[in-house]
Structure 1
Amino acid sequence: MVLASRSVPLSTPEGGTGPKDVAGLSVEESVIEVVDPSQNPSLTVFDRSDMQRLGKKQEYRRVFGPAATFGFISMYLCTWEYILVSIAGGLINGGFGGLVWEYIFTAFAFGSVVITMAEMTSMAPTSGGQYHWISEFSPPRYQKYLSYAAGWTSALGWLTGNASGYFILSTLVEALVEIYDPDWSFTRWQSTLVMIFFLITTIYFNTWGAKLLPGIEIVSVVFHMAGFVITIVPLWVLAPKNSASDVFGGIVNGGGWSNAGTSFFIGTITILFSNLGPDAAVHIAEEVRDASIVIPWAMVVSYFLNAALGFAMMITMLFTVGSLEDAIAASSPFQNSFTNTGSTGVNVALTLILALLIGAANITSLATTSREVWAFARDGGTPAHRWISKVKYNQNVPFNAVLTTSFLSLILCLIQLGSTVAFNIIISLNLIAFLGTYMLSIGCLLLKRFRNEPLPPARFSLGRFGLPVNLFAFCYSVVTLVFSCFPVSVPVDAGTANWGPAIWGGVLAIAAVSYAVQGRRDYKGPIVFVEGVRKEGVGLQTA
C-alpha cells in the first residue's frame, strides 16, 4: 500500500524538467513512494531511507538475507574453482614461487578496492553500482559523461564475463570426455552448442525459477565449501608431491620480459581474475534486506574467505601438478593434478564437482549482469530503455533485462562458432572494464575526500582510514589496469596479443555514438534523482 507520494521537483544539469520513469510518468509523479512496512515487510527503515535518498522507486521484494547475499557473492567469486581453471598465465609469469607471492600481494592489495567499494555500497546501495557512484561523487560538470561511459563499460564487462563463464563450463565438459578419450576434442560448433545449453539453463533460474534464487545461493555456497574439502583432501593424500623448495622458489620470468618485476605484475593479473567480482551483490542491492549494512559485510567477509580458500587450493595444486614444464605445456594444468591422484574415478568426480560449481556461478553471473543492465536502462542509459527496465512483479525479476542480457550473451557465444581467437579477444574486455570502473568510482570518492566535501552517511564506514585506504586502492587500480593491457608473453602475434584495450576503446566509441543518438536526450545520470531529494533535507556527512 502506498501511503503517500511526495512531489520532488527536479532539474537537470542542462535545465528543464526531470527525466521520465519507465512507465512514462514524470519523476515528480511516481519516483518516491513511502511504503507501508506492514504491507511490505521486506523493507527495513534503513532500506526505505536509502531508496528515498537515492530518489528511486522500490520495485522489488527484498528476498535476499545475509546468508543468501553471502552465497551470491561467494558463488560469483568461485575463487578456488577459478584458480584451478585459469592459473596458466601465472605459471608463465612467475612460476611456482612467483605465484605464491603474486597471490599474497594481490589478495591484500585488491582487498583495499573491495573495502572501498563496500563503503560506497553503504553510502549508496543501488543496483547501478559504479556508474551511480561516479555520477554522485564526480565533479558536476563531468558526472553525466563519466557515468554514462562507466555504465556502458560496466555493462559490457559483466556481459563478457557472463559469456566467458559458459565457455569455461564447456571446456570442463570437454575435459570430462577427454579423461576417457584423450584424443577426442570438441569442434567449435559442439563447444558453442554446449555453451548455449548452459545459457538456456541459467535463463530458467533467473526468470520462471527466480523465486528459487536466494535458496539456490545458500545451497550452492554450502556445496562450494564442501567441494573445496572434497577436492583438496584426495590431492594431498593420493598425488605425488613437489618439494617445498620447488613450490616456494624464486620468480620465473617465462614471458620473455626484460625484468622479473614486469613478469611479476603481469602474473598478478591471473590471480586477480580469480578474485574478481566481489561487487556482484551490489547489483542486487534493491533486492537485499537491510542492504546498506548486509552487502558491505558480505562483500568483505566473502572476499577474504574465498581468497583464503583460493590460496590453499593454489598451494595444493602447485605441490601436486608435477613439474613446471609439464604444467605450462598442459592445456588444463589442473588436470595434471587430478590425473596424478592415479584414479580415473577421482579425476572424473573432481572435474564434475568443478563443473557443477562453475555452472552455479553462471546462474549468479546472469542475475547480477541483468540487474546492472536493468539499472542502467532505468536511468535511460540504453536503447529501448523503457522496455528493458520493466519489472515483472509477480516473479520479482527484471524479465526483459534478463532476456536482453541473455540475447547479448548468446551473440558473444556465437562468435566462438566462427573463431575461438575472436571470442577470446572479445572476452578480454572483462578485466579491463571492471578495473576501469573501479578506478573511476574510487577516484571520484577520493577527490571528494581530498576536497573535504560532504558524503552520504555510511553504516559501514572506514572512518579516519578512509583516505589512505581509498588512495592505495586507487593507485593499485591504476597500476593493475596498465598491466592488464599487456600480453602474457613477448613477442606477440595476432593470436597472442592482448586486444582488451582495443575492444575497450571500441566500446567507448560505441558509447559515444549511443550518447549522441539517444543518451544525450534520455540519460541525465542518477545524481539528478539524488539532487531532488537532497533539497528535501536528506543529510550528508563531511568526508
Structure 2
Amino acid sequence: MDSDALRLQSLGYKQELSRNFNRLTNYGVALSVVSVSSGLSSLFLYGMVTGGPVVMVWAWVFVAILTVCVTLSMAEICSSYPTSGGLYYWSGILVPKGYKPIASWFTGWFNLIGQFAVTAAIDFGLALLVASVVSVGLNLQWSPRPFHIVLINLGIVFTHGLCNSMGPRFLSWLTHVSVWWQLFAPIIVSLALLIGMKTGHQTASFVFTKFENYTDWSSIGYVVLIGLLQAQYCLSGYDAAAHMTEETRKADVAGAWGMIGAVVVSAITGWLFLIAFFFGIHDYEATVNSLTGFPMTQILLDNFSKQLTIFFMCLILVACWFCGLASVTANSRMIYAFSRDHAMPGSRWWHQIHPRLACPLNAVWLSCFIAFILCLPYLGNSTAYSAITSLSTICLYISYILPVVCKTIFPRSFVRGPFHLGRFSKPINIIAIVWVCLITVLFLLPPVHPVTASTMNYASVGIGAVVIFSGLGYVPSARRWFQGPVNNLDLDEKQAEIIVMRF
C-alpha cells in the first residue's frame, strides 16, 4: 500500500479509485472548471450592462485578490484532508463530535447543489455560444429559439457523460490537452485582437475608466456591487482539485497547489482577455444589442472576417467544452463521496465504482441528468440562465467558506498538512469569511429596475429551496441516523445497507 492509500486510510476510507492523475492533471481539472474562456464569454454581456469596462476590469483584480484568500484558506485544509468529499468532510472533521453531522450535511448539500448548478450553467452557456457561432456562419439569418438551445445543450451534456464514462486513463489524457487549451486559447485570441484590431477601436481611457449602466438603477454603488458577479462566477469551481485527490498521486500537496494554480493563472489570463476585448469594441451600444447574442462574437466580427471570427470562437468553444467536461468529472466525484457516506437518496447506486472502467459511472450520468434538467426552465423564462449562474456561485462559495468557519471557530481541531499558511492563516481566513458573507448577500439582489416577474433574481428562490430541502432532509430524518463522514474500513455491507435504507 502506497503513502497516498495509507493517508486515505488514516482518514477513514478505503482506496477504491485508481490514482492515475498526477499534479498537472489535478491542476488541469481545476483550471478547466474555472475556465476564463467559458465564464467570460457567458457573462460578458452581464458585465457590460452592470458597470461596463471600469467595473469589469478593476472588479476582476479586486475579486481575484479576495478569491485567492478563499483559495488559500481551502488549500490549507485540503492539504490536511485530501479526500474526494472535500468540503463536507472538512467541515465534519473540524468541529466537535456533536456538531459533525449537521456541519457535514449542510456543507455537502450546498456544495452538491452548487456543482449541479455550475455544470448546468457551463453547458447551457456553451449551447448559447454554439448557437451564436452557427448564426454567424449563416450570416445572422438564423435566430435560435429556446428549444434549439435546449437540444444543443442536450447534445453537449451527452458528450460530457460519454467521455467521463471511458475510464480514468482517457480522462487523464483529455485533461492534459485541456490544460494547454485553457491556457493558450484565451491568450491567442487576446493577442490576435490586440494586434489585428481595425481602426475605430477604443482608447485606454475607455477601457480603464468608462462606466456604463443599463440596469436603470440610479445608485452607482449598487451597480458596481452587483457587477462583481461576473468576476466571481468566473473564478469559481476550483474545489474540483479537492474532489480529484483520491485519484491523484501525492494528493496532500497536489490538491492544494491545484486550486491555487488554477485561480492565479485564470486571474492573469482572464484580465488580459477582458482588456483585449474592451479595446476591440467599436460601437458599445451595437455590441450590447448584437444580433449574435454574444458581445464577444460581435467584437470579433467588427475586427476580423467571418471566417476568422468563427475560427477564434471555435477556440473558445473547445475551451468551454473542456470546462463542462471537467465540471461533470468533479461533480461525479462529489456525488460518489457524498453517497459513500450515505447522505444522498439512492446512495447505494451513486457510490458504485464500475469494475472495468474504474470510475463512478452512475454518478457521472446523474450529474449529466441533473445539469440538463436545471436548464429546462429556459423554455419558459429567459432569465433562468442568469439565475442558475447566481445560484451556482452562491452555493459553491457558501460550501467553500463553511469549513473555513469551522476551522476558525475550533482551531484546535485542525492538524497542519504539508501546505500551510503559518501565522497568516487566521487573518487570511477571516478576510475570506467576510468576503463570502458579502457576496452571498450581493448576488441575491435584483440586477434590473424595476423588479418584475421577468427581471427578478430567482437565485434567492433557489437558495431558499436549497435551505428548505436540506433542512427538511435533516431535521425530521437524517439527524437521527446521519453520522457525517463514515469510516468505511470496518463497516460491513449489512451495516451500510441499513444506513442507506433509512434515506
Is the shorter-chain TM-score for this pair beyond 0.5, marking a shared fold? yes
Task: Name the SS for the 1:357 alignment partner.
Answer: helix
Structure 2 residue 120 is matched with structure 1 residue 163? yes
Deviation larger for 421-430 or 129-138 = 421-430
Deviation larger for 376-385 or 251-260 = 251-260
Q: Structure 1, unaligned stretches of length 5 or more?
A: 1-34, 36-42, 533-543
Matches of 1:484 and 1:210, distance apart in 2? 36
Which of 336, 340, 346 is residue 378 of structure 1 equivalent to?
340
Deviation larger for 112-121 or 396-405 = 396-405
User: For residues 210 and 428 of structure 1, do their structure 2 counterparts lie closer, same or farther at Cα, with a shift above 3 Å needed?
Assistant: same
Matches of 1:85 and 1:102, distance apart in 2? 17
Aligned partner letter, 1:326:
A
Instruction: Map Cα deviations across residues 443-471 of structure 1 (whole Å, 9 max, x no partner).
Output: 1111123xxx1412311000110011101
Task: Name the SS for the 2:430 alignment partner.
Answer: helix
Matches of 1:106 and 1:423, distance apart in 2? 22
Aligned partner letter, 2:367:
T
- The answer to whether the 8 A contact 1:119-1:460 is kept is yes
Partner of 1:153: 110
TM-score, normalisation: structure 2 = 0.91
User: For residues 223 and 422 of structure 1, do their structure 2 counterparts lie closer, same or farther at Cα, with a shift above 3 Å needed?
Assistant: closer
- The answer to whether the 8 A contact 1:106-1:271 is kept is yes
Partner of 1:353: 315
Q: CA deviation at 1:98?
A: 2.1
Structure 2 residue 279 is matched with structure 1 residue 319? yes
Which of 149, 153, 178 is residue 191 of structure 1 equivalent to?
149
Aligned partner letter, 2:415:
P
Aligned partner letter, 1:307:
A
Aligned partner letter, 1:364:
A
Task: Name the SS for the 2:227 alignment partner.
Answer: helix
Aligned partner letter, 2:337:
A
Which of 287, 292, 317 is residue 252 of structure 2 equivalent to?
292
- The answer to whether the 8 A contact 2:20-2:168 is kept is no
Q: CA deviation at 1:172?
A: 1.5
Partner of 1:459: 418
Q: Report 1:275-290 matches (<5 A).
A: 275-290=235-250
Task: Name the SS for the 2:448 alignment partner.
Answer: coil
Matches of 2:398 and 2:264, distance apart in 1? 22
Instruction: Map Cα deviations across residues 484-527 of structure 1 (whole Å, 9 max, x no partner).
Output: 1112232221121111122111122122233356534552101x
Aligned partner letter, 2:269:
L
Q: CA deviation at 1:417?
A: 3.9
Partner of 2:62: 105
Matches of 1:65 and 1:55, distance apart in 2? 23
Q: CA deviation at 1:360?
A: 1.3
User: For residues 127 and 500 of structure 1, do their structure 2 counterparts lie closer, same or farther at Cα, with a shift above 3 Å needed?
Assistant: same
Aligned partner letter, 1:431:
T
Matches of 1:424 and 1:472, distance apart in 2? 27
User: For residues 506 and 351 of structure 1, do their structure 2 counterparts lie closer, same or farther at Cα, with a shift above 3 Å needed?
Assistant: same
Partner of 1:83: 40
CA RMSD of aligned residues (A): 2.2
Partner of 2:440: 481
Q: CA deviation at 1:251?
A: 4.2
Matches of 1:361 and 1:279, distance apart in 2? 14
Instruction: Map Cα deviations across residues 387-418 of structure 1 (whole Å, 9 max, x no partner).
Output: 21111132120112112222222322333344
TM-score, normalisation: structure 1 = 0.85
Amino-acid identity (%): 27
Partner of 2:227: 267
Task: Name the SS for the 1:87 alignment partner.
Answer: helix
Matches of 1:254 and 1:483, distance apart in 2? 18
Partner of 2:101: 144
Aligned partner letter, 1:231:
V
Partner of 2:179: 221
- The answer to whether the 8 A contact 2:9-2:489 is kept is no
- The answer to whether the 8 A contact 2:14-2:489 is kept is no
- The answer to whether the 8 A contact 1:153-1:507 is kept is yes
Matches of 1:257 and 1:50, distance apart in 2? 53
Matches of 2:94 and 2:374, distance apart in 1? 33
Higher relative contact order (CA closer than 8 Å, sequence separation 6+): 2
Matches of 2:48 and 2:229, distance apart in 1? 12
Structure 2 residue 80 is matched with structure 1 residue 118? no
Matches of 2:322 and 2:368, distance apart in 1? 16
Which of 191, 209, 213 is residue 233 of structure 1 equivalent to?
191
Matches of 1:100 and 1:414, distance apart in 2? 33
Matches of 1:346 and 1:329, distance apart in 2? 22
Matches of 2:6 and 2:423, distance apart in 1? 25
User: For residues 80 and 401 of structure 1, do their structure 2 counterparts lie closer, same or farther at Cα, with a shift above 3 Å needed?
Assistant: closer
Larger CA Rg, structure 1 vs 2: 1
User: For residues 499 and 138 of structure 1, do their structure 2 counterparts lie closer, same or farther at Cα, with a shift above 3 Å needed?
Assistant: farther
User: For residues 529 and 457 of structure 1, do their structure 2 counterparts lie closer, same or farther at Cα, with a shift above 3 Å needed?
Assistant: farther
Partner of 1:309: 269
Matches of 1:440 and 1:313, distance apart in 2? 32
Partner of 1:30: none
Instruction: Work out the number of aligned pairs and report it.
Output: 486
Partner of 1:68: 25
User: For residues 428 and 100 of structure 1, do their structure 2 counterparts lie closer, same or farther at Cα, with a shift above 3 Å needed?
Assistant: closer
Structure 2 residue 11 is matched with structure 1 residue 51? no
Matches of 1:517 and 1:205, distance apart in 2? 39
Partner of 1:433: 395
User: For residues 387 and 54 of structure 1, do their structure 2 counterparts lie closer, same or farther at Cα, with a shift above 3 Å needed?
Assistant: same
Q: Normalized per residue, which structure has more helix?
A: 2
Q: CA deviation at 1:531?
A: 13
Q: CA deviation at 1:426?
A: 4.7
Instruction: Map Cα deviations across residues 366-387 of structure 1 (whole Å, 9 max, x no partner).
Output: 1001111111111110011112
Task: Name the SS for the 2:309 alignment partner.
Answer: helix
Matches of 1:419 and 1:259, distance apart in 2? 27
- The answer to whether the 8 A contact 2:83-2:242 is kept is yes
Partner of 1:337: 299
- The answer to whether the 8 A contact 1:72-1:281 is kept is yes
Structure 2 residue 456 is matched with structure 1 residue 497? yes
Matches of 2:61 and 2:388, distance apart in 1? 29
Aligned partner letter, 1:199:
V
Task: Name the SS for the 2:21 alignment partner.
Answer: coil
Partner of 2:366: 404
User: For residues 401 and 494 of structure 1, do their structure 2 counterparts lie closer, same or farther at Cα, with a shift above 3 Å needed?
Assistant: same
- The answer to whether the 8 A contact 1:239-1:337 is kept is no
Q: Structure 2, unaligned stretches of length 5 or more?
A: 491-503
Deviation larger for 253-262 or 360-369 = 253-262
- The answer to whether the 8 A contact 1:73-1:280 is kept is yes
Aligned partner letter, 2:58:
W
- The answer to whether the 8 A contact 2:9-2:15 is kept is no
- The answer to whether the 8 A contact 1:111-1:304 is kept is yes
Structure 2 residue 129 is matched with structure 1 residue 172? yes
Partner of 2:493: none
Q: CA deviation at 1:252?
A: 4.2
